[in-house]
């Protein structure tokens, strides 16, 4: 299982917790992980003393979109997608994919990670590097 797939699983599990009326969040001041009930009137207080009625001050520990975080994409992920596409990227082209990934993920938030890698591969792999 890739890091990306592990992140996706964590997000699925967080969504199960949220469906139960609870949420896992982080303190916007110290980063401590908190559990809180989901209510119409948001309020959370951390052990550090920070408190707020703004959900953005206590972001979800995992949420949709985090699976597209650049740090989850590895060279092996790029090579696997390239092989599936019958592409044979050079090391520098693989590094280009890794370098472009973060921006591409932000520009295409509805795409999954493999679609993003595929799109970048088609744009950076020269025709001489196809199988």
**Residue range of the domain that includes 33:** 3-64
Q: Which residues of the chain have pLDDT under 50?
A: none
Domain boundary among 64, 86, 103: 64
Are 60 and 74 members of one domain?
Answer: no
Are 9 and 57 members of one domain?
Answer: yes
Are 123 and 105 members of one domain?
Answer: yes
pLDDT of residue 14: 92
Are 79 and 119 members of one domain?
Answer: yes
pLDDT of residue 74: 84
First CA to last CA across the chain, in angstroms? 26
Domain count for the chain, please give it: 2
Are 95 and 51 members of one domain?
Answer: no
Burial of 4 (0-12, 13-18, 19+ CB in 10 A): buried
Say how far apart CA 106 and CA 1 lie, in whole Å. Answer: 24
State residue 21 phi and psi, 5-degree precision: 95, 5
């Amino acid at each position: 299982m890739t890091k990306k797939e592990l992140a996706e699983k964590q997000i699925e599990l967080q969504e199960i917790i949220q469906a139960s009326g609870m949420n896992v969040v982080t303190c916007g001041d110290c980063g401590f992980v908190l559990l809180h009930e989901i209510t119409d009137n948001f309020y959370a207080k951390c052990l550090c003393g920070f408190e707020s009625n703004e959900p953005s001050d206590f972001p979800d520990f995992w949420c949709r979109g985090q699976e597209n975080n650049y740090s989850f994409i590895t060279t092996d992920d790029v090579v696997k997608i390239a092989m599936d596409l019958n592409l044979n990227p050079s090391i520098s082209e693989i590094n280009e994919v890794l370098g472009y990934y973060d921006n591409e993920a932000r520009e295409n938030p509805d795409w999954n990670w493999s679609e993003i890698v595929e799109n970048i591969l088609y744009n950076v792999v020269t025709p001489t590097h196809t199988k």
